[in-house]
Amino acid sequence: MNFIGVVGQLRLLLSFVPDTLSPRHPVTLVDINTGLLLKQLFNAVSAVSLLALVALGLFIVFGMMKVINMAHGEFFMLGAYAMWQLLERGVNFWVNLALAALAVGCFGIVLERSIVRRLYARGDLSTLLATFGLSILLQRGVAIAFGDRPQFVASPISGGPTILGNTYPTYQVLVMLLAMAVIAAVLILFLRTDFGLRARATIVNPRMAAALGVDTARMNALSFALGSALAGFAGALAAPLLSVVPTMGLDWVVRSFLVVIVAGVGSIWAALGGAAIVGGWETGFTAAYDATYAQITVLIIVWALVLVRPRGLFTGRWRRGTR
């Protein structure tokens, strides 16, 4: 298979890296089989769909308001904590998914109206810094409230079918499908509805949109709420798979940024493409070789991409300048 050929090349390349970085007993690839490849493909698609869901929220906020929300990962974390707290109180898991999204979305509106709104006018990078502060505030606040220890969230469904020797946990399959469904719903919202038209107009040219009668302030609040709700939903959905700790958002916000950087602020499809590249590379590289290298290389790739395509990989026309 072509995949194995590529892996072989990569391994050859990496064998020249100083030994200090490599484990002494590297993983051998002798028993690559169709079952494993299929399972790893599932892992990749599953990881990409969840990442796309989180990154889409960040992408909408960034595209719409040109605001980089560094607290996006904390919204993901809040979703997971909402799920845990509600489960502790005996609320049904599936109801919690909706409640977590709703709660984090409302929280997003409050934040937008109280803090983020004040920073649009400044237009510089203050939003990035203010939300940086907000992310620490939320993270440490949760740590004070519940401690830094991992909280226990069990899957609502255990077990799953075994195909070619590998188990496909039913809940993970559901997570993937639900993530895809929500992404599809957001796409429809953006591409097929009146709200979507206004939103896309605001993304492309906020002043023109305002002149044509789009209530940009309301659009901003709504899209911030939508972005937050998506992160909260993803956090609640992923809670049974992950460690629920106050710092869990960091991993997601960093990777979502990579997605947005790769995608640029062109079309909404670009965010999905970006997620496929970042998530796919990480999962594929981890599966084929090593997780540490997977994370270092993905950072280097994104860095290189930004230099080659400063406005994103999927943006057809570049607009020069920043204003």
Partner 1 sequence: MNHLSRRRMLQLGAAGGALLASGPGRGRLASAQSTPAAGPPITVGLLAPVTGVFADFGDLMTKATNLAVEKVNAEGGILGRPLTVIAEDDQGDPAIATERARKLLVQDNVDILMGTVSSATTLAVLPLVDQAQKVFFYPLDGEDKTCLPGGGTNPLVFGLGDTPQQRLVRFVPAIVEQAGGDWYFIGNDYVFPRSVNAVAIQFLQEAGGTVVAEEYVPLGTGDYRPVIDKIANSGASVVFSTTVGADGVAFTKQAREGGLFDRMTVTGVATFAPEVYGGLQGFAGGVLTADRYSDQIDNPVNAEFVAAFREAYDYDLPIGGTAAACYGAVLLWREAANAAGSFDPMPFAEACAGLAMTLPQGDVEIDPENHLLKQPIYLLRIENDDYVIDEDFGQIAHPGHEGCSVV
Partner 2 sequence: MTPHAGVSRVLSAFWAARWAVLLLVGLALYGRFSDPFGLFIVSSALVLALLALSVDLQWGYAGILNLGPAASLGLGAYTYALVQRKVTAGSPTWLAFGLAILLGVALAVIVAFPAFKARTLPVYYALITLAVALILQRWTAVSYDLTGGSNGITGIRLPDFSLPGLDLKVTTTEQFFPLAAGAAIAVYLGLLWLTRSRFGRVMAAIRDDEEKAATLGYDVSAVKLAVAAVAGGIGALAGALYAPLAGTAHPSLFGIAFSIQAFVWVAVGGQGTLIGPLLAAIALKLLENRLRDVSADGYVMALAALFMLAVIFLPRGIAGLFSDIAREAKSRLARPAPSVLSTGRERPSEGLHG
Applying CB under 8 A, the site for partner 2 has a residue count of 50
Q: How far apart are CA 276 and CA 52, in angstroms?
A: 8
Cβ neighbors of 73 (< 8 A, separation 6 or more) are: 135, 231, 248, 249, 250, 251, 252, 253, 254, 256
**Site for partner 2 contains 310 (CB under 8 A):** yes
**Site for partner 2 contains 25 (CB under 8 A):** no
* Least gap, CB of 232 to partner 1 (angstroms): 17
> Which residue, 66 or 200, is less far from partner 2 as judged by CB?
66
Whether residue 150 contacts residue 244, with contact meaning beta carbons closer than 8 Å, is answered with yes
Residue type, 182: V
Q: Say which entry of partner 1, partner 2, none residue 257 contacts (CB below 5 to 8 A, set by partner kind).
A: partner 2
Q: Say which entry of partner 1, partner 2, none residue 134 contacts (CB below 5 to 8 A, set by partner kind).
A: partner 2
The closest of 250, 89, 105 to 242, measured between CA atoms, is: 250
* Least gap, CB of 89 to partner 2 (angstroms): 25
> Which residue, 22 or 216, is less far from partner 1 as judged by CB?
22
Stretch that binds partner 2, among 6-14, 16-24, 51-59, 221-229 (CB under 8 A): 16-24
Give the H/E segment covering residue 146: helix 126-146
With tokens 């620490």, the residue in question is 136
HEC assignment per residue over 261-284: HHHCCCCHHHHHHHHHHHHHHHHH
Nearest 5°: CA angle at 320, between 318 and 323? 115
User: Which residues are near partner 1 by CB under 8 A?
Assistant: 23-28, 31, 33, 35-36, 39-40, 43-44, 46-47, 143, 147-152, 154-155, 158, 160, 162, 165-167, 169, 171-172, 238, 240-245, 247-248, 250-252, 282-284, 286-287, 290-292, 295
**Site for partner 2 contains 149 (CB under 8 A):** no
Give the H/E segment covering residue 130: helix 126-146
**Site for partner 2 contains 307 (CB under 8 A):** yes
Nearest 5°: CA angle at 284, between 315 and 178? 70
**Site for partner 2 contains 28 (CB under 8 A):** no
Contacting residues toward partner 2, per CB under 8 A = 18, 20-21, 66, 68, 115, 118-126, 128-130, 132-134, 136-137, 140-141, 143-144, 205-207, 254, 257-258, 261, 292, 295-296, 299-300, 302-303, 306-308, 310-311, 320-323
